[in-house]
Amino acid sequence: MNILLVNPPQSFYPGSDLVSGNIPLGIMYLAAVLEKNDQKVEILDAFMANVEPRAIGDTIEIGMSYEQIKNEIQKRKPDIVGIANPFSSQVEHAKKVAGIAKEVNREILTIVGGPHVTVVPREFLNEAKNVDVAVMGEGEYTLPEIVRAREGSKPLMAVAGIAYRQNGDVKLNPPRPLIKNLDELPYPAYHLVDMEQYLNPAKIEYRSFKSRALAMITSRGCPQKCCFCSVHRLGRIHPIT
């Protein structure tokens, strides 16, 4: 399988924080696990691409245009396109990327993960007609199983932690248990991205950082219980250290 993991463009709305970005650790972890499973994988960070911000009405859109994304998918010829969706406010970008992948080749399997689809997987798939599979919760062990299902070695109905389509209906599989030992995961696939675009403070504002900086995640979850946050539905309230 040729797998392409995409970090879509993002829109910044009036009242948002200053435009900022960061290294796409989520899909880099996914890529590392896929490589560990002997899969061919590439990363397309369409959000942090070196393009000028675009004003669309009263919003600012950051990242590649959809025509550029389409060209990249055509060039890379993936069998599977996995799409990140970090926030509900950006879900339309994930759906658009899935639609572009289907325009290039209807046989491409499109997958979306992230907090939004975890909380409302059925509603999401009912709206996003070009998305084949929604990953609920952590995806490191789920995505390789989806790939094996695509290869024909196991049915999608046997993959925990996903929602998918079957004969026009949306099916929800049982949730996947949280990863107990995060140390089992390989380091993120830094070699699949241009690290300079994340280390250069002139590239994009890192809030208070004025010199070369790089984010790291040393645990998962959050000890806080903010009423507006989806962490309660995602299942990991307290961080693992």
pLDDT tens for 28-67 read 999 999 999 999 999 999 998 877 788 888 888 889 999 9
- CB burial string 198-216: b at 16+ within 10 A, e below: beeeeebebeeeeeeeeee
- CB burial string 62-100: b at 16+ within 10 A, e below: bbbebeebbebbeeeebbbbbbbbbeeebbebbbbbbbb
What is the rounded CA–CA span in Å between residue 85 and residue 138?
Answer: 13
pTM, two decimals, is: 0.91
Task: Spell out the domain ranges in the chain.
Answer: 2-208
Structure token pair of residue 211: 């010199």
Tens-place pLDDT, residues 104-139: 999 999 999 998 999 999 999 999 999 999 999 999
**What's the confidence (pLDDT) of residue 240?**
41
Report which residue type is found at 119. V
Burial label for 171, CB within 10 Å (0-12, 13-18, 19+), is: middle
Per the CB < 8 A criterion, the answer to whether 25 and 217 are in contact is: yes
239: confidence class by pLDDT, cuts 50, 70, 90: very low
* Side-chain-facing half-sphere of 215: CA atoms under 13 Å: 15
CATH 3.40.50.280 correct for 2-208: yes
